[in-house]
Amino acid sequence: MPLVSLIIGSENDRPIGDRIRDLLKSFSVEVEYVVISAHRAPEELRRYVKESRAEVFIAVAGLSAALPGAIASMTIKPVIGVPRDVKLMGLDSLFSIVQMPPGVPVACVGLDNATNAALLALEILALKYPELEKKLEEYRENMRREATKKLE
């Protein structure tokens, strides 16, 4: 079964994390869901990342948003960052995630965009799991149908 690690930096990130978890589970993906601060618990984060069986990491973080980058520095597995709109219209979080140094990439979705984070993880996993590819195609077809209904 595909496995995604969903790490939130604090309990304040839980509403976004819950939406990510719920969408992943609707695709029958197993989710490890933990709260670990990159700043307040760096050794615990390192241990968790090194021991995790996850194939993709999703990190939700606000303010300095160091969590996705810290995770990326500890693994070669894909890391998706979800910047939070906490202060400065979320620009501080966004820039912290998208401006990673060369060699330590983090994929970044829009501010508070739980849906795109989950879908990007699913697209990555679909490269290995054909059943996810089929479910993603159905998801997109349902989106297309809903969008064209509004045109009628």
CATH number at residue 55: 3.40.50.1970
Q: Six-digit token pair at 119?
A: 């879908």
Q: What is the mean pLDDT of residues 22-31?
A: 98
Q: What is the pLDDT of residue 126?
A: 98
Segment 18-33 mean pLDDT: 98
Residue partners of 22: CB distance under 8 A and separation at least 6: none
User: Residue 17: pLDDT above 90?
Assistant: yes
> What are the angstrom distances between the C-alpha of 142 and each of 28, 86, 145, 146, 148?
18, 32, 5, 6, 10
Q: Please, where are the H alpha helices in 3-90?
A: 14-26, 42-51, 67-72
- For residue 93, give its domain range: 3-149
pLDDT in tens, 29-41: 999 999 999 999 9
Residue located via tokens 């879908």: 119
| pLDDT computed for residue 152 by the predictor | 64
Supply the pLDDT for residue 54.
Answer: 98
Element (H, E) at 132: helix 130-149
Question: What's the pLDDT at 22?
Answer: 98
pLDDT at 151 over 90: no
Q: What is the pTM of this model?
A: 0.95
Task: Name the band, by pLDDT with cuts 50, 70 and 90, for residue 150.
Answer: low
Q: pLDDT tens for residues 64-113?
A: 899 999 999 999 999 999 999 999 999 999 999 999 999 999 999 999 99
pLDDT at 52: 98
Q: Judge contact between 99 and 70, C-beta under 8 A.
A: no
Cβ 42 vs Cβ 50: under 8 Å: no
C-alpha–C-alpha distance, residues 124 and 97, integer Å: 19
Nearest to 81 by CA among 89, 90, 11, 141: 90
Residue environment code for 84-119, b if the CB has 16+ CB neighbours within 10 A, otherwise e:
bbbeeebebbbebbeebeeeeebbbbebbbbebbbb
When divided into structural domains, the chain yields a total of: 1
